Chains A and B, each alone.
Chain A
Amino acid sequence: MKLKAISLAGILLLIAAAVCFGAEDTATEGPDAVAVEPVFEFKPVLDGDEVVHDYVIQNKGSVELEVQRVQTG
Chain B
Amino acid sequence: MLSKNITVYTNDPRDQQLRLTIRGHVNNFVTIKPSRVRMTGAAGDEIKSTVTVIPEEKYPFKILETKTLKEDNIKVTLDEVKEGEDTEYRVTVENLKDKRARYFDAVILKTDSDIRPEIKISVYGNIFDRPDTGSN
Residues in A lying within 8 Å of B, measured CB to CB? 2-3, 5-6, 8, 11, 13, 28, 30-33, 35, 38-49, 51, 53, 55, 57, 61, 65-73
Contacts and interface: CB of A to CB of B under 8 A. Distances in A.
B24 interface: yes
Contacts of A41: 22-24
Interface of B: 2, 4-15, 18-30, 59, 115-116
Given A42-B22, A45-B24, A73-B5, 15 more contacts: A13-B8, A32-B14, A33-B8, A33-B18, A35-B20, A39-B20, A40-B21, A41-B22, A42-B24, A44-B24, A44-B26, A55-B6, A68-B9, A72-B7, A73-B7
The 3 A-B residue pairs with the shortest CB-CB distance in the complex, in nearest-first order: A42-B24, A33-B12, A69-B9
Contact of B13 (A2, A30, A39): A30
5 contacts: A33-B15, A40-B22, A42-B23, A45-B27, A49-B26
A2 B10 CA distance: 32
Given A38-B18, A40-B21, A73-B5, A66 B10 contact: yes
Contacts of A65: 10-12
B29 A47 contact: yes
B2 A6 contact: yes
A38 B116 CA distance: 32
Contacts of B10: 31, 33, 57, 65-68
A67 to B, nearest CB: 6
Contacts of A57: 8, 10, 18
Contacts of B7: 70-73
Contacts of A11: 4, 6, 22
Contacts of B21: 38-40
